[in-house]
Homo-oligomer: A and B are copies of this chain.
Amino acid sequence: MSDVADYLETRPLTPTAAAVPIVSISALTGAVMSPQAKQAGLAAPDAKRAGVPCSSCAMHSFCMPEGLTSAEAERIEALICPSRTIRNGETLFRTGDSFQSLYAVRAGSFKTIVMHRDGREQVTGFHQAGDMLGLDGVCSGHHSCDAVAIEDSQVCIIPFHLLEAMCRDVKVVQQHVHRMMGGEIVREATLMMLLGTMSAEQRVATFLLNLSGKLQKRGYSPAEFHLRMTREEIGSYLGMKLETVSRMLSKFQKDGLVDTHGKQIRILDMDGLRRV
């Protein structure tokens, strides 16, 4: 439910960080389970050790605090369990599951959904490489949403009790965790604003702009990208029906703001979208 990277908006982004291409899932190799993964009771049978250490991971700048000593950086690396592969449509965790770990998305994309008792569900967030998942479980010790992969994905597993322990020793880690949680709070408040005050047209425009900004921070083109989610998932996220999403995209097309071909999106007039 969280965007680790959001709080970076308020910090300068290094040019190198923005230019690094995202690691593809096929570039990640598999290996054996670590003792910590067993201890946390979380790594699935298909858990695999990523060949890439944090220090050389492209998402490094999104997950890790700055200003660590090399000893501290090593301690964090030791704390992180082997990454786990989640195939398209599979769930990383479900509502009610015991909360043990946070998950940093290393590659791929997820949606988080909450289910109403009457069966209706709503998408509460989309999460790409560099985002953090699982903070919803911190409060009660149980997850309060489902996290489902919307393409083949890979996550790093961070046992929360170990992270908490490290927070007690290393101030920058503590502040990093607080900022991640705080960022999630702000992100959700912004979304409440969107759901509470904007028209369907404005919501879709805002959605595209937010996604664009997020991709830009990761070194991708902000103007041309591929949607990982369906119209229905977008609609659920934005509090409207899929037909309405489709209509709004068609309208933007007609107005010359974007160029859509199914899931392929090209933003032609960024300012025009902002003015909607």
Contacts and interface: CB of A to CB of B under 8 A. Distances in A.
Secondary structure of the A contact surface, majority rule? helix
A69 interface: no
Interface string A1-34: 1100011011000000000000000000000000
A136 interface: yes
A186 B114 CA distance: 10
Contacts of A174: 164, 167-168
A173 to B, nearest CB: 10
Interface residues of A, number: 50
A145 interface: yes
A127 to B, nearest CB: 13
B7 A186 contact: no
A137 B169 CA distance: 23
Nearest to A9: B140
Nearest to A160: B178
Contacts of A219: none
B192 A136 contact: no
19 contacts: A1-B185, A2-B185, A6-B139, A7-B140, A9-B140, A10-B139, A116-B193, A122-B197, A139-B183, A144-B186, A164-B174, A167-B168, A167-B174, A168-B171, A188-B188, A188-B189, A192-B195, A195-B196, A196-B237
Interface of A: 1-2, 6-7, 9-10, 114, 116, 120, 122, 124, 135-142, 144-145, 164, 167-169, 171, 174-175, 177-179, 181-186, 188-193, 195-197, 236-239
Given A114-B190, A167-B167, 16 more contacts: A114-B189, A116-B197, A122-B192, A124-B193, A136-B182, A136-B189, A139-B179, A139-B183, A139-B185, A144-B186, A144-B189, A168-B171, A184-B185, A191-B192, A196-B238, A197-B239
